[in-house]
Amino acid sequence: MYCYAACIMRSAIYAVLLLTLCPLLIAQSHPGVPAISATSATLRDTHLPSPLRQDILAQLQKSILEALSHVTNGDHTVAHAQKIALDSKVRFLQPSHRGPSAIILSSEQCSPNGVNCLSWVFMTKDGHAVLAFEADGSGIGIEPTSHHGMPDLSSEERYGHTTDGEIEFYEFNGKTYSSAYCFESTVDETGKRNESPHEACSYSQ
């Protein structure tokens, strides 16, 4: 009887320990899972420290004005560029305690195919926003792989109205994101998606 009671007591203790430790073990098993904010907020509605906001707005206006200069018709004024910039969607990326935070913005300033749109990634440093890279594609993808505590990022530039395009991967080098490699992604007549060999990009952003 004593042995039976002791076994029951040990089982109860093990059960309590498992219930206590399992959440901790699960939380620790994914230390680099990125915390990403929703994409519904715009730069206009996002509360940012003034230096960060000014840095971001200045860069976005510059990029948007450059893109507008290649459009024959339309509003090319600074006021219009500022409106597009302020309407850009904002995401915050804080993957782990080891990595710095990043700010991802996506605008509605798109190419004629309506798919390739301007996006930017900023790193925060000393209270300012520093541009890591900008892309003209179908948005910024957050990849499961990571470097130096920050997830790899990707952008895809579509070819016309097709689903084919060139994908560029970016890796964090400890200070900022830089281009790592590019490859083409195409769909054949059977619907199978194919990737070309991963190679150094022909240009750097």
Write out the chain's pLDDT in tens, 205 residues.
Answer: 444 444 444 444 333 333 333 332 223 323 444 555 555 689 999 989 999 999 999 999 999 999 888 777 777 889 999 999 999 999 888 765 555 688 999 998 887 767 788 999 999 888 899 999 888 888 888 899 988 888 899 988 877 666 777 889 999 988 888 889 888 878 778 878 887 888 888 764 4
Q: Are 74 and 170 in the same domain?
A: yes
Q: Are 7 and 88 in the same domain?
A: no
pTM for the model = 0.72
- 205 inside domain: no
Q: Are 114 and 141 in the same domain?
A: yes
Instruction: Count the helix, strand and coil residues of the chain and give each as a percent rounded to the nearest 5.
Output: 25, 40, 35
| Residue 90 to residue 43: CA distance in whole angstroms | 6
- Per-residue model confidence (pLDDT) at position 98: 55
Long-range contacts of 49-58 (CB under 8 A, 24+ apart): 49/127, 51/127, 51/128, 51/129, 52/103, 52/124, 52/127, 52/128, 52/129, 55/122, 55/128, 55/129, 55/130, 56/103, 56/105, 56/120, 56/122, 56/129, 57/82, 57/85, 57/86
- Per-residue model confidence (pLDDT) at position 75: 79
User: What is the domain extent for residue 74?
Assistant: 31-195
